[in-house]
Amino acid sequence: MAKTRVLVKIGGSLAEDRRALSELCSALAEFSRSGADLALVHGGGKEINRNLELLAEKPRFEGGLRVTDEPAMKMVEMTLSGWVNKELVRLLLGEGCRAVGISGVDGGQFVARKRGGTPDLGRVGKIVSADGALVEHLWAGGWLPVVSPVSNDDERRPLNINADEAASALAVALKADRLLFVSDVPGVMRDGETIPELDEAKIAKLVEEGVISGGMIPKTRSCLEGIAAGIGEVHICGWNGRDGFLDQLSGARNRGTIIR
């Protein structure tokens, strides 16, 4: 019988909360012991900002997107593929989990292209192809991959990749059963309540009504694209503690929004 394949992407204040991260890693380790194949994808924007400030560099943003020049790209890779990645690996190892840290560069997992258009964001890229072979190999050996989104372009130069995009691309390549986006956003909201389940028709209606707006529009559309490309279901959820997260991982109880 095939194992359940689950990818988790973490972001927001969860990525800054050591206690929450410890609880999250404890839940991942427990769920992994149940026999599921798991991978964790992460960003680390606030940590990048802090490290840039140590070098007397100020983070720059255009339209909400980070501008990554050549010197900043070095710090992005050192921070994401180095410090942040290894901190998560250490936490998982502490829970008895066979964790290993990799990035989009390793094994050529992701090939990306520099984003064009205006404004010029520098070394910021968009994934053009994803290969799940390395993660498949690690899963076969009983490892839990922790994935930094930093990737190569076709000239093998590093690019800064949005972690949501990296998680979606990897989940598609692996035909994951579930992809969980865990952040400060508890789900798709209506009148202060989380909408438990959505599909393409419901999303289109909510966009038309203005219930889904702003950044949630591209997020839900990206979820639908992932499902059309082979992901079983996508969860948008907030952090509800260890037990709540285990419920979401296993599908025992939905505390966010599931898009199918």
Give the model's pLDDT for residue 143: 97
Give the model's pLDDT for residue 127: 95
Domains and CATH numbers, the chain: 5-259 (3.40.1160.10)
Give the model's pLDDT for residue 198: 95
Rounded to whole angstroms, the Cα distance separating 206 from 109 reads: 35
Half-sphere CA count of 143, side-chain side, radius 13 A: 14
pLDDT band at residue 142 under the 50/70/90 scheme: very high
pLDDT band at residue 59 under the 50/70/90 scheme: confident
Mean pLDDT of the chain: 91
Among candidate residues 20, 38, 42, 94, the one with its CA nearest the CA of residue 243: 20
Task: Decide if pLDDT at 56 tops 70.
Answer: no
Give the model's pLDDT for residue 1: 59
pLDDT band at residue 62 under the 50/70/90 scheme: confident
Q: Are 186 and 238 in contact (CB under 8 A)?
A: yes
Each residue of 210-228: pLDDT tens digit? 999 988 888 898 899 999 9
Task: Decide if pLDDT at 235 tops 90.
Answer: yes
Each residue of 149-202: pLDDT tens digit? 999 999 999 999 999 999 999 999 999 999 999 988 899 999 989 999 999 999
SS3 111: strand
Among candidate residues 76, 247, 40, the one with its CA nearest the CA of residue 158: 76
**Residue 16 CB coordination number (10 Å):** 13
Give the model's pLDDT for residue 156: 92
Q: Between these two residues, 112 and 49, which has the higher pLDDT value?
A: 112
Q: Is 49 exposed, middle or buried (0-12, 13-18, 19+ CB in 10 A)?
A: middle
Task: Decide if pLDDT at 55 tops 80.
Answer: no
Q: What's the start-to-end Cα distance of the chain, in Å? A: 23
pLDDT band at residue 94 under the 50/70/90 scheme: very high
Give the model's pLDDT for residue 48: 80
122 — phi, psi (to 5°)? 75, -130
Task: Name the DSSP letter for residue 212.
Answer: S
pLDDT band at residue 12 under the 50/70/90 scheme: confident
Give me the mean pLDDT over the 233-241 stretch.
Answer: 94
Task: Decide if pLDDT at 54 tops 90.
Answer: no
Among candidate residues 191, 205, 184, 181, the one with its CA nearest the CA of residue 258: 181
Task: Decide if pLDDT at 19 tops 80.
Answer: yes
For the entire predicted model, the pTM comes to: 0.92
Chain centroid to Cα 186, Å, comes to 15
Structure tokens at 94: 């502490």
Q: Give percent of the chain above pLDDT 70.
A: 97
Give the model's pLDDT for residue 40: 98
Give me the mean pLDDT over the 117-133 stretch.
Answer: 89
pLDDT band at residue 16 under the 50/70/90 scheme: confident
